[in-house]
Amino acid sequence: MQPSSKSIIGMAKIKLRCWLSALAAVVITTANAQNPLITNQFTADPSARVFGDKVYVYPSHDIRAQPGHGRAGWFVMEDYHVFSSANLTDWTDHGVIVTQNKVPWVKPDSYSMWAPDCIYRNGKYYFYFPTTPKDTTVSKGFTIGVAVSDKPTGPFVPQPLPIKGVRGIDPNVFIDKDGQAYLYWSQQNIYAAKLKDNMLELASEPVTLGELPTQGLKEGPYLFERKGTYYLTYPHVANKTERLEYATSTSPLGPFTVKGVLMDESPTGCWTNHHSILAFKNQWYLFYHHNDLSPAFDKNRSIRLDSLFFEPDGRIRKVVPTLRGVGLTDAKQKIQLDRYSRLSNSGATIAFLDTANKFQGWKTVLASNLAWVQYNGVAFGKQALKTVTLRTMAPAGGTVQLRADGATGPLLAQVTVPKGGQWQEVKAPLSAFKPGIHAVVVASKTDTPVEIDWIRFE
């Protein structure tokens, strides 16, 4: 039987509705090779995992308090997104996976969806999150719940109740080689317990990991194993703000021996740090956070990523935070020089493009002759590129030179920036092409300021 024109229209409408709802959950790709990793929203407390051939990051999601929504001056967090990347350079936002008012046991509008974790077991992804229960007999403060999915990107279905017997924040789950799973969490101290095979219930009484520092807040535990050593890593306030420390053991439940600091306190006073550590394609990485996009308010944070190395005896080499981050930047993509590797001691500064909308990102300002900025790890490929485009502004006009590999390296291009108070894209021919991977140095040749948003080779 032929469908009637009415039913054809009906089917088309249904298809359109399905298509529109798929579009509503559409992924947003944010190409970004530098720190912070995500620049279109605040992200914090990154729990990163390798699932298949990709890295997935489950951060918490800071937002600004609005009248009647969240407490001004404090953490305001209502949901979680998940981000993925196959190369640690291009990140895809898969959208919201869990939101406070859709979890049956969560106190509505409590805006306390703090640092989560996610782990894979037997075909399911278990997402652990701490927040405030509406039933205060469960906990007067925080407790920890689980949401389960068939895919790392969701949909995650929250369990009807939080995990029994857990009070605290910052869940972290570790599965040992023998298949035993452990839950770690914090509430002043750091606690641990075995998890049942269903990953939803404790299988043992919680123990306090008591060999850690006794003075100063400890939170955000993250446990991993390498070459038979169990590393318990955690933020700790030894002085004024959190730094990342670690202790080791031959067993997931300790006893642990404190080993040292793996990242110092923030030099600019961001009070929290929260991290995770993983190996991906034969390199270890540290995910952590800083308040890059909100320098005046450190409860609006942004996740970062830097490489991590072990000494031959298994100690963790201290990670020095960078803006450049990890990975290579394709010469044909926008190269954000403000996420620099090196900057000249005088004349070069970094500033927000728009102080009223910091999500616009940053610019490099070369204020005087010879001021320079260096950006490492630009992948030029093999095929000769012919031009470079700068998004730039020079109120009095200016000239910059681009060189490969260093301030005295081969000249790639000289670019004259016409006088003007507006951003403009200025294109110049390349005088040389260097195949392969190079640092790019951009240096001013005039005493009048030149501002650069990004550069791109073609």
Q: Which residues make up the interface to ligand FUB (CB under 6 A)?
A: 44-45, 60, 75, 114-115, 169-170, 219-220, 272, 274
Nearer to ligand FUB, 89 or 100 (CB): 100
Nearer to ligand FUB, 45 or 265 (CB): 45
Active site residues: 45, 219
**Minimal CA–CA distance to 325: which of 342, 337, 309, 307?**
307
Instruction: Report which residue type is found at 187.
Output: Q
3-state DSSP: the chain helix, strand, coil percent, rounded to 5? 5, 45, 50
Determine whether 16 is exposed, middle or buried from the number of CB atoms within 10 Å of its CB (0-12, 13-18, 19+): exposed
Nearer to ligand FUB, 47 or 329 (CB): 47
For the bound state, the minimum distance from the C-beta of residue 248 to ligand FUB, rounded and expressed in Å, comes to 21
Nearer to ligand FUB, 235 or 252 (CB): 235
For the bound state, the minimum distance from the C-beta of residue 116 to ligand FUB, rounded and expressed in Å, comes to 9
For the bound state, the minimum distance from the C-beta of residue 79 to ligand FUB, rounded and expressed in Å, comes to 13
Please write down the HEC assignment for all residues of 155-212. Answer: CCEECCCCCCCCCCEEEEEEECCCCCEEEEEEECEEEEEEECCCCCCECCCCEECCCC
For the bound state, the minimum distance from the C-beta of residue 450 to ligand FUB, rounded and expressed in Å, comes to 38
> Distance between CA 438 and CA 435 in Å, rounded?
8
Nearer to ligand FUB, 303 or 443 (CB): 303
> Distance between CA 320 and CA 249 in Å, rounded?
25
Query: Strand pairing of 372-379 and 329-330?
Result: parallel
Instruction: Report which residue type is found at 34.
Output: Q
Beta bridge partners of residue 366, listed in sequence order: 348, 450
For the bound state, the minimum distance from the C-beta of residue 60 to ligand FUB, rounded and expressed in Å, comes to 5
